[in-house]
């Protein structure tokens, strides 16, 4: 039973508020934001939750778990403070703006014996869970390669948002949506031994990338062929996974990305058109709740969260390689 764990949320914006409603039995005791009004607003949603603008206050609370849900640049420093205060921490993706920050967190977390999870919630989307289950059951055989495309079309003024300021965001589209694709790719294929590709700023008047193209390969030669874009005028999520005996295609994430669906193409020994079964998930996405439930279970079992600091670090190293290659770092 996880119901007794107390939770503090640091960063009370959109994501923080979303987390507050998806605590999977955890009890929200503190809402913390430099902007006290936002903290108050979030605290008002949950009986018994206090608001504060003072991180120390939050860390001195009864919370055993801290969720850090701020703009990218503040993620790692806040998480570090929480770890040093002995808290288990869920840090929103990408966890930090530089890989080296996650190394520091890893060392501290190990020293304190606390669990740290990175909030790559896409792993918990229903189509992706189903894909994982099919692959683990051998449905498409040994994996050969995958293709991922992910993007949105921005919005008026996008180039003026915090995401467009590298000091706050650490980068553009690649560190925003791209990290989800990298994380999913390594979930399915494992570690990448080779990183090629580039990022560009093609449209938005901003000093960070709006498109990135990634060619990642495992030691065994499996390719993750990924492209992310915030000039993807029609919102898109697509992940195609190829095994020796079939293909899985995940599309949509609900809402403006379209109904989430998984298409399963199964080759027959005689070859020809594959047997096709399509699973649709119109009931929405419970990824946030499931991710938190998994984290509470990690804590209960003293288990290393996956994706945790190790996976988050691998992802940020890919990002840094591309940014360095492309002149953004």
Site residues (vs its own copies, CB under 8 A): 144-145, 147, 149, 153-156, 196-198, 200, 202-203, 211, 213, 215, 217, 221, 223, 225, 227, 229, 231-235, 242, 244, 246-247, 256, 265, 267, 270-283
Cα–Cα distance measured from residue 266 to residue 275, given in angstroms and rounded to the nearest whole number:
5
Q: How far is the CB of 169 from its own copies (least distance, A)?
A: 20
The per-residue b/e assignment along 33-64, b for 16 or more CB within 10 angstroms, e otherwise, is: beeeebbbebbeebeebbbbbebeebbebebb
CA distance 71 to 185: 24
**Nearest in space to 21 (alpha carbons), one of 305, 295, 286:** 286
| Nearest in space to 91 (alpha carbons), one of 105, 104, 103 | 105
On the CB side of 283, CA atoms within 13 Å amount to 5
Decide if 225 contacts 97 (C-beta within 8 A). Answer: no
Q: Write b or e for each residue in 173-186: b if 16 or more Cβ atoms lie within 10 A of its Cβ, otherwise e.
A: bbbbbbbbbbbbbb
- The least distance separating its own copies from the CB of residue 276, rounded to whole angstroms, comes to 4
Nearer to its own copies, 52 or 218 (CB): 218
**CB of 267 vs its own copies, minimal distance in Å:** 5
Least distance in angstroms from the C-beta of 264 to its own copies: 10
| CB-nearer residue toward its own copies: 246 or 312 | 246
Calpha distance 149→22 (Å, rounded): 28
d(CA 312, CA 318) in angstroms, rounded, equals: 10
User: For residues 175 and 319, is the Cβ–Cβ distance under 8 A?
Assistant: yes
Rounded to 10 degrees, what is the CA torsion of 289, 294, 296, 301?
A: 170
Residue 223: name the closest of 146, 321, 140 by CA.
146
Question: Which tokens in the block code for residue 205?
Answer: 């008047």
Q: Which is nearer to its own copies, 92 or 159 (CB)?
A: 159
Q: Which is nearer to its own copies, 25 or 141 (CB)?
A: 141
Give min distance, CB of 1 to its own copies, in A: 24
The nearer residue to its own copies, 169 or 223, going by C-beta atoms, is 223
Output 67 or 199, the one with its CB closest to its own copies. 199
Nearer to its own copies, 3 or 276 (CB): 276
DSSP classification of residue 274: P
Return the number of the residue (48 or 157) whose C-beta is nearest its own copies. 157
What is the nearest approach in angstroms of its own copies to the Cβ of residue 326? Answer: 10
Shortest Cβ distance from residue 3 to its own copies (Å)? 23
State the nearest-atom distance from the C-beta of 50 to its own copies, in Å: 30
């Amino acid at each position: 039973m996880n119901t007794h764990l107390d939770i503090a949320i640091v960063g009370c914006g959109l994501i923080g508020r979303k987390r507050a409603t998806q605590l999977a039995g955890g009890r929200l005791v503190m809402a913390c934001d430099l902007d006290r009004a936002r903290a108050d607003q979030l605290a008002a949603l949950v009986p018994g939750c206090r608001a504060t603008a003072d991180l120390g206050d939050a860390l001195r609370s009864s919370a055993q778990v801290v969720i850090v849900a701020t703009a990218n640049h503040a993620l790692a420093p806040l998480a570090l403070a929480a770890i040093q205060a002995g808290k288990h921490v869920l840090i929103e993706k990408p966890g930090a703006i530089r890989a080296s920050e996650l190394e520091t967190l890893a060392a501290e977390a190990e020293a304190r014996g606390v669990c740290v999870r990175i909030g790559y919630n896409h792993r918990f989307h229903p189509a992706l869970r189903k894909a994982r289950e099919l692959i683990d059951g051998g449905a498409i055989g040994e994996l050969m390669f995958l293709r991922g495309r992910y993007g949105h079309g921005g919005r008026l003024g996008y180039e003026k948002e915090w995401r467009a300021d590298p000091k706050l965001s650490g980068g553009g589209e690649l560190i925003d949506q791209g990290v989800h694709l990298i994380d999913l790719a390594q979930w399915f294929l494992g570690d990448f031994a080779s990183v090629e590709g580039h990022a560009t700023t093609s449209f938005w008047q901003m000093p960070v990338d709006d498109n990135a193209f990634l060619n990642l390969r495992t030691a065994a030669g499996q390719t993750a062929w990924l492209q992310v874009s915030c000039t993807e005028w029609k919102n898109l999520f697509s992940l195609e996974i190829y095994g020796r005996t079939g293909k899985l295609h995940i599309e949509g994430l609900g809402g403006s990305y379209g109904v989430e669906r998984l298409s399963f193409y199964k080759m027959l020994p005689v070859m020809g058109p594959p047997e096709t079964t399509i699973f649709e998930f119109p009931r929405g996405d419970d990824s946030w709740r499931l991710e938190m439930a998994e984290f509470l279970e990690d804590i209960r079992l003293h288990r290393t969260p996956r994706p945790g600091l190790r996976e988050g670090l691998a992802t940020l190293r890919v990002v840094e390689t591309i940014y360095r290659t492309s002149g953004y770092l």
